[in-house]
């Protein structure tokens, strides 16, 4: 139970970082984000992405444009705001630190 | 066939099957409930709905379909994730999903498992008692003054039948939410259990009876078909033989017999052929159809049947054409009268003379050289002419001028008046006087190859008052107004010849002649 909880917490934080990373590469549609996440083997269901995107958007990290679609109504394409970019940079640093921490921890153990 | 609904989801109109709609609604309700606590729930749910609509469109487009089905919804939900999966990832959102409809049970009739109308099965779901006990109770109640039957009928009427998936789930007390739907759906996919439910006892009996009846009925139908084939073949054979006889053996001159004598000889063969086709083709069609019934085969293909139809129509059209043509030859009627003075006698003996002289026509007809038989007579034993409708009539009237006359009124029909008159003039009627004996021919004669055009002769014999007439019983059929039956005396005599006397009031029967 505790292990599960930890896993969930870790995944949750990393998911947010990954989503921001994917969007940072350019304007992107929600289902394409899912596709990228699946490629990265960070399996999620689409339904979990929408609350996350909405939360990030409401926190000012993301914005979206309505883009006309060939079939059906226009789609929301997400992109990073300035604030979002700062966030990604900060998270990059954090990730380096964490990665270092983990690598070192493992080496010490050996 | 399934009922479909139109829904507006994410600004798209989607056709969706009822079951799929129920599942989708259940899913969206759960999703809404899940995000209800979140401040941005409206936006999140809208995004999800838009995405679902998009996935539907993609599925329909890829598979070239019109309507969203249950498995499509299942697929979309799998991709979108269930609320349970959301909870695993996202725990800050309050995960207390209200257990929607959990435990809520409604009373429906279960026709899938029921024997008659599913009332007992419905109660068994509702009361969670084995259906057998309920049936036992119902059966016992049936025998308590039949009140159970009435109750059953009333419940049959009042309790609705569980038709849709959600109704069936309410009936069984399953939670009508997504898990319930998916479970239900998977159950169905796994063994098609919902569809192939064991049918009840009565249903089985009815089924068995139906099968037996069906087999007996089929056998009966086949026997009938076989008889029709046999009968039809005989008829067809008969038709063919008569056709051959009429057309091929011209020796047996058909022109003398009704109805052939009506038709002009020049188009008789055509018309006979046409009539043959008009009768034979339906017979063939009937036989072919019966063969099809009997042997369960496609007896004829479309082209053949179409050709048969065309041939038949041609035959019918030709027949109708000639029939109207022939009947048009009866349009006008013409008659002329030939009056003969007869030698006066006090008493006349009227005879119907069945002998007639061998005519030139006869010699042609019988292929006998007329020179050898000149003057000989043919005895015609026929009582009346079968060859033609009755066409000789005799009436006896009082003569005003004291003379004895015989007026022969010849009449016939034809296309025009001249035509009709010509036919009338071609009538030969054999009448001769030998002293006081008047010989009447029983029939009239037409020149050979003359068609029947309603030729008839009306004979009017006028005799002065006081003249006696000896009339044979045979005259009954030719005589107008009088007959030997009006001459039956008290004496029970059975004479063939009766004596009549012309009086001022017309012909009177002389009853006392025999004395």
pLDDT > 70 fraction of chain B, expressed in percent and rounded: 76
Residue B504's pLDDT band (cuts 50, 70, 90): confident
Whether chain B has a CB inside 8 Å of the CB on A2: the answer is no
CB–CB contact B86 A48 (8 Å)? yes
Largest CA distance in chain A: 57
The answer, yes or no, to whether residue B511 has pLDDT greater than 70, is no
Between residues B307 and B257, which one has the greater pLDDT? Answer: B307
CB–CB contact B44 A75 (8 Å)? no
The answer, yes or no, to whether residue B190 has pLDDT greater than 70, is no
φ and ψ at B333, to 5 degrees?
A: -120, 135
Rounded mean pLDDT, B28-47: 83
pLDDT > 70 fraction of chain A, expressed in percent and rounded: 93
Smallest CA–CA distance, residue B198 to chain A, in Å, is 39
φ and ψ at B445, to 5 degrees?
A: -120, 145
Cα B116 to Cα B39: distance, rounded to the nearest angstrom:
53
Smallest CA–CA distance, residue B13 to chain A, in Å, is 10
Cα B162 to Cα B177: distance, rounded to the nearest angstrom:
17
Residue B439's pLDDT band (cuts 50, 70, 90): confident
Residue B235's pLDDT band (cuts 50, 70, 90): very high
Per DSSP, helices labelled H in A25-61 are: 30-39, 46-58
Question: pLDDT value at position B379?
Answer: 47
Counting runs of H as helices and runs of E as strands, what totals does chain A give? Answer: 4, 3
β-bridge pairing B497-503 and B355-357: unpaired
Q: Where are the domains of chain A?
A: 2-109
Cα B415 to Cα B187: distance, rounded to the nearest angstrom:
85
Question: pLDDT value at position B366?
Answer: 55
CB–CB contact B57 A72 (8 Å)? yes
Whether chain B has a CB inside 8 Å of the CB on A6: the answer is no
Question: pLDDT value at position B166?
Answer: 76
Residue among A8, A51, A75 whose CB faces B38 most closely: A51
Question: pLDDT value at position B335?
Answer: 86
* Phi-psi label, residue B448: left if phi above 0, alpha if psi -120 to 50, beta otherwise: beta
Distances from the Cα of B1 to the Cα of A83, B17, B192, B196, angstroms: 55, 10, 17, 17
Residue B369's pLDDT band (cuts 50, 70, 90): low
- Taking only the tens place, the pLDDT of each residue in A20-67 is 898 988 888 888 888 888 888 876 778 888 888 888 888 888 888 888
Between residues B493 and B336, which one has the greater pLDDT? Answer: B336
- Taking only the tens place, the pLDDT of each residue in B412-431 is 888 888 888 888 888 878 78
* Cα-Cα-Cα-Cα dihedral sign, residues B479, B484, B350, B448: positive
Q: Which fold has domain A2-109?
A: Arc Repressor Mutant, subunit A (1.10.10)
- Taking only the tens place, the pLDDT of each residue in B329-351 is 888 888 888 888 888 888 888 87
Q: Match 């989708």 to its residue by tokens.
A: B24
Half-sphere exposure of B71 (CA within 13 A, CB side): 7
φ and ψ at B97, to 5 degrees?
A: -75, 125
Question: pLDDT value at position B374?
Answer: 47
Cα A109 to Cα B1: distance, rounded to the nearest angstrom:
67
The answer, yes or no, to whether residue B383 has pLDDT greater than 70, is no
């Amino acid at each position: 139970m505790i292990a599960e909880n930890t896993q969930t917490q870790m995944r949750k934080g990393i998911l947010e970082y990954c989503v921001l990373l994917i969007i940072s590469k350019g304007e992107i549609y929600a289902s394409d984000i899912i596709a990228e996440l699946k490629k990265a083997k960070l399996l999620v269901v689409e339904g979990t992405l929408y609350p996350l995107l909405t939360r990030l958007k409401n926190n000012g990290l993301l914005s979206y444009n309505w883009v006309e679609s060939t079939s059906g109504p226009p789609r929301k394409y997400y992109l990073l705001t300035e604030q979002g970019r700062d966030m990604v940079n900060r998270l990059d640093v954090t990730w380096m630190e964490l990665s270092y921490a983990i690598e070192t921890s493992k080496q010490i153990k050996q | 066939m399934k009922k479909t609904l139109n829904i507006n989801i994410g600004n798209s109109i989607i056709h969706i099957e009822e079951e799929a709609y129920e599942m989708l609604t259940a899913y969206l309700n759960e999703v809404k409930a899940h995000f209800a606590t979140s401040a941005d729930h409206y936006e999140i749910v809208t995004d999800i709905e838009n995405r679902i609509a998009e996935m539907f469109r993609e599925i329909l487009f890829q598979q070239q379909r019109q309507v969203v089905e249950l498995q499509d919804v299942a697929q979309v939900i799998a991709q979108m994730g269930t609320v349970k999966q959301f909870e695993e990832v996202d725990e800050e959102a309050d995960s207390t999903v209200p257990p929607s409809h959990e435990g809520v049970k409604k009373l429906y009739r279960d026709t899938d498992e029921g024997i008659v109308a599913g009332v007992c099965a419905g109660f068994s779901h509702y009361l969670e008692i084995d259906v057998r006990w309920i049936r036992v109770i119902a059966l016992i109640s049936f025998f308590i003054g039949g009140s159970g039957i009435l109750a059953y009928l009333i419940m049959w009427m009042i309790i609705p039948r569980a038709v849709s998936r959600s109704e069936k789930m309410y009936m069984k007390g399953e939670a009508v939410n997504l898990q319930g739907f998916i479970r239900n759906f998977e159950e169905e996919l796994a063994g098609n259990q919902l569809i192939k439910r064991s049918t009840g006892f009565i249903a089985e009996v009815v089924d068995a009876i139906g099968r037996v009846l069906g087999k007996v009925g089929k056998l009966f139908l086949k026997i009938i078909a076989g008889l029709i084939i046999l009968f039809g073949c005989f008829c067809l054979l008969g038709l063919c033989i008569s056709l051959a006889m009429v057309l091929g053996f011209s020796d047996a001159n058909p022109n003398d017999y009704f109805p052939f004598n009506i038709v002009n000889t020049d188009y008789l063969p055509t018309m006979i052929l046409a009539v043959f086709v008009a009768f034979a083709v339906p017979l063939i069609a009937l036989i072919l159809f019966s063969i099809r019934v009997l042997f369960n085969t496609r007896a004829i293909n479309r082209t053949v049947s179409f050709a048969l139809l065309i041939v038949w129509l041609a035959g019918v059209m030709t027949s109708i054409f000639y029939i109207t043509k022939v009947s048009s030859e009866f349009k006008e009627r013409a008659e002329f009268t030939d009056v003969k003075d007869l030698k006066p006698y006090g008493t006349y003996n009227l005879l119907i003379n069945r002998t007639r002289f061998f005519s030139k026509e006869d010699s042609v007809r019988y292929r006998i050289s007329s020179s050898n038989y000149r003057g000989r007579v043919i005895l015609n034993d026929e009582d009346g002419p079968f060859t033609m409708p009755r066409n000789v009539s005799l009436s006896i009237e009082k003569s005003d001028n004291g003379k004895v006359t015989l007026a022969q009124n010849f009449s016939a029909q034809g296309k025009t008046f001249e035509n009709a008159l010509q036919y009338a003039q071609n009538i030969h009627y054999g009448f001769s006087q030998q002293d006081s004996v008047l010989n009447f021919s029983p029939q009239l004669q037409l020149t050979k190859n003359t068609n029947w055009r309603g030729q008839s002769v009306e004979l009017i014999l006028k005799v002065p008052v006081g003249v006696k007439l000896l009339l044979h019983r045979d005259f009954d059929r030719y005589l107008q107004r009088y007959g030997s039956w009006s001459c039956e005396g008290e004496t029970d005599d059975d004479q063939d010849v009766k004596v009549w006397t012309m009086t001022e009031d017309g012909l009177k029967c002389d009853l006392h002649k025999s004395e």
